[in-house]
Amino acid sequence: MQKQLNSSVQISWFYTQSPSKLWQAWTDPSAVKLWFGSDPNGKVLDANLDVSVDGFFRVTFANSDGAEFTCKGKYKEIELNKMLVFTWGWEDRPAIMELVSVNFEIEKDGTLMLFEHQNIDQNSAHNYEEGWRSTFTKLEKALDQLS
């Protein structure tokens, strides 16, 4: 049975920090280690990011139960402090061309992050939404730790 890959998750999230602070959180490996992964008590074990068009990223994280996951992808579009577009996949699963876009819009008192994860298996879309929302809650807390 072939999976349908036309589902997407869209999330808008307001942060009181500047676009440059959010950019740092998404593009600096030491910053990514502070927040990435949906388990509130999980931690990032390794983050390798080559933030350039056609550059690769690979992030390994562990949930609080010890389960480890590695996501990876390739940067497709980059606009400093404004936009990241990259492919998304799991190291232990067949390559499916999922696409993530993250846009940062300046607002009066901070930044509106517009996030979209496209071309995902319809059966997992709900889990992705829940996971990303949990991840962005962690991001919110991590932003205060960035200098």
Is the Cβ–Cβ distance between 47 and 71 less than 8 Å?
Answer: no
CATH class (in words) of the domain with range 7-143: alpha beta
CA 136 – CA 142 distance, rounded (Å):
9
Is the Cβ–Cβ distance between 138 and 25 less than 8 Å?
Answer: no
Q: Who has greater pLDDT, 28 or 146?
A: 28
pLDDT, mean of residues 98-121: 95
Does the pLDDT of residue 76 top 50, yes or no? Answer: yes
Share of the chain above pLDDT 70, in %: 90
- What does pLDDT average to over the chain? 92
Query: So where are the chain's domains?
Result: 7-143
Residue 93: per-residue pLDDT: 74
Does the pLDDT of residue 147 top 80, yes or no? Answer: no
Burial 21-45 (b: 16+ CB within 10 A, else e): bbbbbbbeeebbbbbbbbbeebebe
Residues pairing with 86 in the sheet: 75, 100
Does the pLDDT of residue 2 top 50, yes or no? Answer: no
Is the Cβ–Cβ distance between 47 and 32 less than 8 Å?
Answer: yes
Does the pLDDT of residue 60 top 50, yes or no? Answer: yes
Does the pLDDT of residue 13 top 70, yes or no? Answer: yes
